[in-house]
Amino acid sequence: MINQPYTSLIKTTGKASRFIFTCILCIITLKGLAQDKTKNIGNKLRKGSTNNSFNIVKGAQVGIKMNAGGKTVQLLKLSFDVDNLAKDTIAFKVNVYTTGDKGPLDNLVKDEIKGTVIRNNQVTGEVINQLISVDLAPYDVRVKGKILVSVEFLNTNPNASLGFSCGLLNGGTWYKRSPEQEWKKMPVVGADFNVLVKKLK
């Protein structure tokens, strides 16, 4: 016959085990829910064999269309790979537009979101391929549906250009070679711009 204290110990141990198991299950579930709240939109990041170069002209822009989905999301981070073909650091800002059939419409960014591409190796002249990431979260840019995300050069750098990593047949690249020029689309080759977004309730 099992004595009473031993039986109570077994019951207590069993309850503790169930409690620990439940806590672990809750943690795993919460992590899964947190991961489910973010997603990536745009093109796949890669150091592509295809490379599109654009001259550094103040007010010129390069971007792609993305589908943010039918529900509102907040933009968290823009990422893209680029080769700096200039000898200087290149400053840019990020724009986010609503879109129509003919291209960008209204800019949804209220404050300037700035970024930089560092200069190439000044000793060897080697071009540096860089993964550029811009934190968008502090600016609380909220979107849904189709948008166009672009980078706009803040200064003119004569005889200099940036080479954006691109993919084939992935939606094309939209660009303006100067502030005065109308938006145009390069239909076959799309810059590999990628945006991390957070789903909102």
- Range with the lowest mean pLDDT among 53-62, 106-115, 118-127, 151-160? 118-127
Structure tokens at 72: 């509102």
Domain match, 107 and 193 both:
yes
Whether residue 36 is predicted with pLDDT greater than 60 in this model: the reply is yes
Q: Kindly report the CATH number assigned to the domain that includes residue 147.
A: 2.60.120
Domain match, 22 and 76 both:
no
Q: What is the mean pLDDT of residues 159-164?
A: 89
Domain match, 22 and 73 both:
no
Domain match, 106 and 89 both:
yes
E-state strands within 85-141: 90-100, 103-107, 114-117, 129-135
Domain match, 153 and 95 both:
yes
Q: What are phi and psi of 39, to 5 degrees?
A: -155, 165
Structure tokens at 22: 């439940």
Domain match, 20 and 67 both:
no
Whether residue 186 is predicted with pLDDT greater than 50 in this model: the reply is yes
Whether residue 7 is predicted with pLDDT greater than 60 in this model: the reply is no
Read off the pLDDT band of 60 (50, 70, 90). Answer: very high
Round the average pLDDT of the chain to a whole number and report it. Answer: 85
Domain match, 4 and 101 both:
no
Whether residue 49 is predicted with pLDDT greater than 90 in this model: the reply is no
* Residue 23 confidence (pLDDT): 59
Domain match, 46 and 93 both:
yes
* Residue 168 confidence (pLDDT): 87
Domain match, 57 and 71 both:
yes
Read off the pLDDT band of 52 (50, 70, 90). Answer: confident
* Residue 86 confidence (pLDDT): 78
* Residue 33 confidence (pLDDT): 46
Helix (H) or strand (E) holding 165: strand 161-168
* Residue 9 confidence (pLDDT): 46
Read off the pLDDT band of 26 (50, 70, 90). Answer: low
Helix (H) or strand (E) holding 83: strand 73-84
Domain that holds residue 78: 39-199
As a whole number of angstroms, the distance between CA 81 and CA 91 comes to 15
Domain match, 175 and 190 both:
yes
Q: Which stretches within the chain are classed as H helix? A: 4-36
Whether residue 184 is predicted with pLDDT greater than 80 in this model: the reply is yes
Domain count of the fold of the chain: 2
Higher pLDDT, 130 or 74: 74
Domain match, 110 and 148 both:
yes
Structure tokens at 89: 């650091």
Q: What is the mean pLDDT of residues 151-172?
A: 91
Q: What is the mean pLDDT of residues 70-89?
A: 92
Whether residue 125 is predicted with pLDDT greater than 80 in this model: the reply is no
Q: How many CB atoms lie within 10 A of CB 127?
A: 13
Residues ≥6 apart with Cβ < 8 Å to 173: 52, 62, 63, 64, 164, 166, 185, 186, 189, 190, 191
